[in-house]
Amino acid sequence: MKTTIQYNNKAYEIDLSKPIDISLPIQNNEQNPIAWYLDKPEINPVVMGDFVGSVASGKSSTNFNNILFNPHGHGTHTECLGHITKDFYSINQTLGTFFFTAELISVTPEYQGGDLVITKKNIQSALNGKMPEAIVIRTLPNSSEKKHKKYSNTNPAYLLEEAALFIASLGIQHLLIDLPSVDKEIDEGKLVSHKAFWNVKNVQKVNHDARFHCTITELIFVEDEIKDGSYILNLQIASFENDASPSKPVLYKVL
């Protein structure tokens, strides 16, 4: 279903019947991706006396599950600057609109000092002068292993501070990436790329010019057949009053 939407005084033609879901689901099996030294999520029926919240058990007319998960380590999630600050900021309060112009780019991280890193040059070259509201970064090679990879203690690729600063300097508000973090797995808590993107200079007392409305989405997955280029992003979150929420970013190709 092709439609034209008006956004920021500009018309975009998209096909609503062809959404591109770039999220990874939360599931209680070995196919779930895991980061930050966690075990897999738990999804289990509620048990109260003789009651078992499972139709299959024959002891309930409904399926009634408890779910235990961590948004940062168990799948696609969107976080606000409250992820790194002493004061509480909620993703549910800071993300107030949900459609954005987006550019999907593919980059090949480079080896520096024994690490795989994404540089300012990588981002600058891939964007080629474009200044969208959201940037979606697919790293190469793009193995399907990302869908269920166990990232803990693997030192995954990450974004250099210079790259995060460059992205922020372009006015890009939403950063999406197919890695567990924009920062190095073990970095002594420096979190330089998180701080650079949000312009947070002091986590104890956030500066007034920090980028409060901006978000970082991690652990996405973009299939190979999805081409680099311009999209409309629908960034969907659950209404958690928390620094982060599991999320469902959906792209629509600009026709």
Domains of the chain: 2-33+71-253 (3.50.30.50)
Task: Name the band, by pLDDT with cuts 50, 70 and 90, for residue 5.
Answer: confident
CA distance 67 to 17: 31
Task: Name the band, by pLDDT with cuts 50, 70 and 90, for residue 121.
Answer: very high
Predicted pLDDT of residue 6: 83
Q: What is the pLDDT of residues 177-226, one digit of tens each?
A: 999 999 999 999 999 999 999 999 999 999 999 999 999 999 999 999 99
Task: Give mean pLDDT, residues 1-19.
Answer: 88
